Structure formats: structure tokens, C-alpha cells
Amino acid sequence: MDSEGGVTGGGSGSAGSDAGTGGAGGPTTVEWCVAASPIGPLLLAATSAGLVTVAFHARPAARDAALGQLRVRLGAEPVEAPGSERLAEAIRALAAYFAGERRDWSGLRLDWSLTAGFQREVLRELASSVPHGTVVGYGELAARVGRPDGAQAVGAAMGANPLPVVVPCHRVVESDGGLGGFGGGRETKRQLLALEGVLPRPLF
């Protein structure tokens, strides 16, 4: 998807790959690093298909937990590789975003293999239709994917989003204007919305 806020799904030129295979039917390989950001250290992991995980607050305990989940869910041993090109692509994109120089994720390859079913559907809708500087309610997003009674299910999908920031679950808020929950914590959500101009920046 190349609309504002959109992302490219899959690797090797594919417009919709959902699995992080190593190519030609080979095993999945997972490379990871920790990148500094204004909202704290982020663990980034990528397969040959693209970025597969962004994890907040990637200090040792949280980092190890995220790597353990990748190990189990992808069936591969994550390899630390801060200099790899597949990670460099994501690092450059995130650095530009936090510097205010990037407003969408067009061209950044994503591996959607940690999502499935309704969650994948609603996350793809979010990525393609809720651009930088805007927000959407849980219920409204549910209605967009044909589940007008599914606000709670959308909340669960957002909470399990493996690609926060890039698939912008911070832009999903309560219908009364409240921030709602967020896997990275409400303060992190507030910071991201302030960066995008939705909320005022703090004075100190």
C-alpha cells in the first residue's frame, strides 16, 4: 500500500507476502538490533520479507522477552545483526519519522506473519487509511472492516500489534477523546501523538 500511512507488504517484490521465509522455501531467518529513539530503546527484528517486530522499552528483560516470543512464533533463533541492510532500512525510516521528516511508511517492507485473521485485517486497514496527524475511534475502525460491534476486538488487535509505530495503533483512541490503552504505555502513546501534532507537546 502506498497511500499516506501505508506500507508495503512482503518482500522480494511481492505486494502481499505474509510469511517471513528465507526465500526459495528456505527456513525463516530473523535478524535483530536495538535502536535508540526519543521514546526509548526499540527492538527491531526483520526477516527476508521485511520488518516483523517493533518492541518498546527494549532494555534487557523486555528485549529478552521479545526475542523469546520471536523464537517460539517464527521457529528460528534471532541473530543480533545491527549492521544488516534489512534492519538499516527500518532504522533509517524510524529516524526520519522521529525527526519529523517522514509522515508515512511507503516503501518500507513489512512481514505480516505474526498477524492473522481479524487482527491482520484491522491492522492493514489502520495502516492504509489512518494517516499521520489523524486519529480514529476503536468503533469506527471496527466498522471500516465490517464489524460495527467489534470495538473491543479492535482494542485486542491493537494491544497485540507486533509492529507499533509503523502500523500506527497509537492513532486509535476512545470515542470520547480519551487516549485508550497502548502496549507501550499511555505516556508513549501521548508522545507519539504529540510528535504527529494531534496533542500539544509538553512544556518541559
Q: Which of 38, 52, 141 is nearest to 90 (CA)?
A: 52
Say if residue 85 is exposed, middle or buried (CB neighbours under 10 Å; 0-12, 13-18, 19+).
Answer: exposed
Q: Quick check: is 169 catalytic? A: yes
Distance CA 137, CA 129 (A): 13
Distance CA 148, CA 139 (A): 6
Q: Please pick, among 169, 173, 192, 195, the residue that the annotation labels catalytic.
A: 169
Asked whether the CA dihedral 71, 86, 36, 103 is positive or negative, the reply is negative
User: For residues 95 and 36, is the Cβ–Cβ distance under 8 A?
Assistant: no
Distance CA 41, CA 39 (A): 7
Which residues are known catalytic residues? 169
